[in-house]
Amino acid sequence: MSSRKVVPSIRSLGFVFGAVVALTSTLARADTPSIVITYGTTQAVGDLGTPQVWANVLGNVSSTDGIVSLGYRLNSGPESPLSVGPYPSPPSGPRRLYFPGDFVVEIDRANLVPGNNTVSIHAVDGAGDEATVDVTLVNTVGVAWPLPYSIDWSTVTNFLDVVRVVDGDWQQVPGGVRLVTPTDRGYDRVLVLGDVTWSDVEVTAEITIHAFDPGYLGTVSGSATVGITTSWQGHTTLIAGEQPHAWWIPQGANLSYDFHFDGQPIERAYLGLGRPAPEPSVFPAPASLQLSLGVSYTFKLRSLTLPGGHTEYRAKIWETGTAEPDWFVNLVELDDGQNVGSVLLIAHHVDATFGNVTVLPILDDGTPPVISNVSIESFGDSAIFRWTTDEATTGAVEIGTTTAYDVGSFASPDYAFDHELVVNGLAFGQLYHWRVLAADRWSHLEITPDDTFTSAVPPNSTATSDEFCGTALGNWSFHDPVGDSTYAVLDGEVEVDVPGTIAHDYFGQDELPRIRQPVTDTDFWVEVEFENPVAPGTWHGFLFESSIPGFGRALRLEFIRQSSGPQLFIGRFDNLVAVDLDAETRTGTERFLRVIRTGNQWTVFTASAPGAWTHAVDFTWSMTVESIGISTGCNALVPHVNRIEVFRDLGDPVQPSPTCSTGGSGFRRGDVNDNGSVDIADVIFLLVHQFEGGPLYCDDAGDTNDDGAIDISDAVSILAYLFTGAGPLPDPFSTCGPDPTADPLGCAASACP
């Protein structure tokens, strides 16, 4: 591609006009404030396109008497105040104004008229002297920044003909652009090119780092960094009332080299995603990618919009003139980040030269994706398929007992490079045919040849499946370390009732109620079904431990719901001391937990409906398992009534009993936490349901005023009954019974006999 030739234009005239002032224009008397306009008093806007929503006028103001006020008017409109540097100034700004007296006029381009616009900048100093400088912005409308686009600095005579300045005092040097003052290593010294409408681009830029300022680690500036950014539309508000705006988010992604990566005194290249809040997500390059000062490196960043609003990002960095490497990051952003906008060249507390730049549109290459690294991990009735593709694709697995793939097609609709798909509903020890399908953004489809595998069978284990028929625990024992919890076997489930007197946990000390079954230390596949998802402030799941509770190594795998939302908690302990803690985000609707133990390797699945397993986590943990426990815990003041429906060892199938029922009939109005009484705990349980989304055991019980809906008035009804003598709640109240009023609510479960 040929470089874009530059011809003299109105942008150049701002520099030519007034040879004495060169790149600045100082229009003031010696005894008045001095206002210097960094890029001249005539500046072009929109002639190349729209690189951001703002039109910036940079300058500096000074006076021996100090500056009392600084402001500007657009086209004789009202005056707006301007902030004045230096940075940093308490408490945290103005961030973009680096030197004493620096200012940035930031004008919404929507407020400019076509043609000439006058920006009058007015300063008053401490002696009362005033000065005004007029800057003409020549606004061209209806122009789109061309794409493809390239900059070859050997053909450029004025850098403002090919890029726009957001911040910093820049100059053209041999082979590129660099800050006029090498020590001007300020906050976000930024050049911009492209259009706010750009998407689906591949950006290549040569960057030479000369020096960096390490002194900003730990300040509001963060680390010194240099790189390129896509899908940017202009600064946004970081701190209310700030001028100019200083928040660089939202953006697409930035490919950067950081001199204090992630708060540590190490250097690292990374790809950062510009999500709206709270901070970008960072994906580091291999630690071996280290850049040297004074050497030119090529940065390449690819941004491709995918169906559904997601974006594919790929990144690489290599020494200019050497062989181009593979991408060090291939990822798909699924959080609907910004994927339309211009390209930034960023030097943040760094002195760097930006060399040649090329921006190419990403077009359909007409070829299907390449599928590789296919693997299958079988767990009997479920199997995990994994594979990679050389571009972001959707995926599917077709599987069956014949090449007709009669079991069905299992789709993974999200675009990815690294794919994982769980196939459920298989039989143990069965030969299956399978193939993998992948389709890219342009619907080019690739299908692997037919292949086969035989599904695994569960290992022999001494664990015993149980659907808890009758009224006895049978092979289980109840461990209540605090002595304040109770249990009951209700002919089809075990109810564990934990009061909210204290936090019932397994952390530093053993306070966690659980039913326990002794086992031999072998491999096992086990699962548990709970009647309800976990409620806020509570947890339940598995506790694997030795024969002595609280002694030796233990493993907690529990559904938990705290302020961070619903999660699967993974806690590894040694004599009650946490060795490693982790958590995986869940939807909050899960009721089924499956654990596969093969030696020291653990694989965990969760499900919201029978058989609908999703893969949660894999990890390694060495321990002796002599007891499988099903735990029930809670925070202080948050009682937890947990109902355990079924425990299964997949090698010991449950044989359903025709005499085993599930729960009783009817309900008691107001007994929201289903513990057999109506008290203040029910009010708390009901409010948690309404404002934090926790489940109810019985919706009819929560409809305390029997109006067919659950709202704040139901909590008020219980409070009125408890504290004002308002009388009993509507039937059924004194005893259990059915709802006498027809309404859309129901009662999935109740402790009523």
Question: Ranked by mean pLDDT, which of 26-40, 92-106, 142-156 comes out on top?
Answer: 142-156
pLDDT value of residue 60: 97
Q: Are 87 and 98 in contact (CB under 8 A)?
A: yes
**Band of residue 217 on the pLDDT scale cut at 50, 70, 90:** low
Residues pairing with 634 in the sheet: 504, 538
User: Whole-angstrom Cα distance, residue 626 to residue 628?
Assistant: 7
- 13-23 mean pLDDT: 37
Task: Give the tens place of pLDDT for each residue, 291-322.
Answer: 999 999 999 999 999 998 889 999 999 999 99
Report d(CA 580, CA 571) in Å as an integer. Answer: 6
Residue showing tokens 């326990």:
516
The answer to whether residue 557 scores a pLDDT higher than 90 is: yes
d(CA 18, CA 20): 5
What is the b/e burial string over 649-661, where b = at least 16 CB atoms within 10 angstroms of the residue's CB?
bbbbeeeeeeeee
Helix, strand, coil proportions of the chain in percent (round to 5)? 5, 45, 50
262: pLDDT confidence band, cut at 50, 70 and 90?
low
Mean pLDDT of the chain: 89
Helix (H, G, I), strand (E, B) or coil at 568: strand
pLDDT at 726 over 90: no
Share of the chain above pLDDT 90, in %: 70
What the block records as the tokens of 355 is 């060399």
> What are the residues whose beta carbons fall under 8 Å from the beta carbon of 193, sequence distance 6 or more?
51, 145, 149, 151, 162, 163, 164, 342, 343, 345, 357, 359
- Report residue 464 as tokens: 């015993």
d(CA 516, CA 178): 69
- Give the chain's domains with CATH numbers: 10-139 (2.60.40.650), 149-361 (2.60.120.560), 371-454 (2.60.40.10), 477-649 (2.60.120.200), 664-753 (1.10.1330.10)
Of the listed ranges 208-212, 278-282, 283-287, 417-421, the least confidently predicted one is 278-282
Distance separating alpha carbons of residues 189 and 87, to the nearest angstrom? 13
> Is the bond preceding 449 in cis, omega lying within 30 degrees of 0?
no
- Residue that the structure tokens 């705006």 belong to: 245
Rounded CA gap, 714 and 708, in Å?
11
What percent of the chain clears pLDDT 70, i.e. is strictly above it? 89
pLDDT tens string 596-653: 999 999 999 999 999 999 999 999 999 999 999 999 999 999 999 999 999 999 998 8
pLDDT tens digit sequence for 147-179:
999 999 999 999 999 999 999 999 999 999 999
Would you list the DSSP string of 104-120? EEEEEGGGPPSEEEEEE
Q: Is 524:461 a contact under the CB 8 Å cutoff?
A: yes
How many CB atoms are located within 10 Å of the residue 167 CB?
Answer: 25
**Contacts with 20 (C-beta within 8 Å, 6 or more apart), sequence order:** none
